[in-house]
Amino acid sequence: MTKNNDLKMPIDTPLTTLFCLIDDFCTDISEQVEQYMLTCGKINRVFADSATRGKTSVGWFYGFKIHLICDHIGRLISYCITTGNVDDRKVLPDLIEHSQLTGKLFGDRGYVGKNWRSRLAEVGVQLLTRVKRNMKPQSLDAFDSAVLRKRGMIEALI
């Protein structure tokens, strides 16, 4: 398969099939805080009453998280801004409820949790993620695998 054909739907897939992508982004304001301290000589924290420390796969940050759901062509469907220490899975039900989402939802490993797939299936959402090291492998068709690999396209929205 060529790169351009990776995301093409199989011929027998109905056109009404919709898939969405979910991801979260850290809004690290520590650089701005450091710059402020260097220029003003003060140790005040920006957003001290609301920003918190959070951890990502690459390290720690101070700030907020933006959780986004977009559709298959990149249109924003739902979003939520939380403090940095909020677990990704905590906002997932609210995001889905407010977006009235049904169909396939592709996300990263941060949205994997015990019984999440069955809980979301009850409302008509199929959560697809990469597996964690301690998880059993899941069987995906070629189309779902290709979309999961291209999940990073949501990051181009910001």
**CATH assignment at residue 132:** 3.30.420
Taking the CB of residue 68, how many other CB atoms lie within 10 A of it? Answer: 21
In 3-state terms, what secondary structure has residue 85? Answer: coil
Rounded Cα–Cα distance for residues 106 and 32 (Å): 32
Structure token pair of residue 100 = 């009235």
Question: Which residues in the chain come in under a pLDDT of 50?
Answer: 1-17, 36-39, 41-43
From residue 138, give the alpha-carbon distance in Å to each of 28, 79, 84, 130, 147: 34, 28, 30, 9, 15
The pLDDT, as a whole number, for residue 50 is 80
Determine the pLDDT at residue 7.
43
What's the CA gap between 25 and 97, in Å, rounded?
Answer: 20
pLDDT of 157: 56
Domain count, the chain: 1
Residue 60: strand pairing partners? 55
Q: Where are the beta strands (DSSP E) in the chain?
A: 19-28, 52-56, 59-71, 76-83, 103-107, 125-129
Instruction: Give the pairing of strands 125-129 and 76-83.
Output: unpaired
Q: Tell me the helix, strand and coil percentages in the chain, rounded to 5.
A: 30, 30, 40
* pLDDT at res. 111: 82
Burial of 105 (0-12, 13-18, 19+ CB in 10 A): buried
Facing residues of 125 across strands? 103
For residue 93, the model assigns a pLDDT of: 84
Report the Cα–Cα distance between both ends of the chain, in Å, rounded. Answer: 29
pLDDT value, residue 16: 38
| Domain residue limits at 109 | 3-157
Residue 29 pLDDT = 56
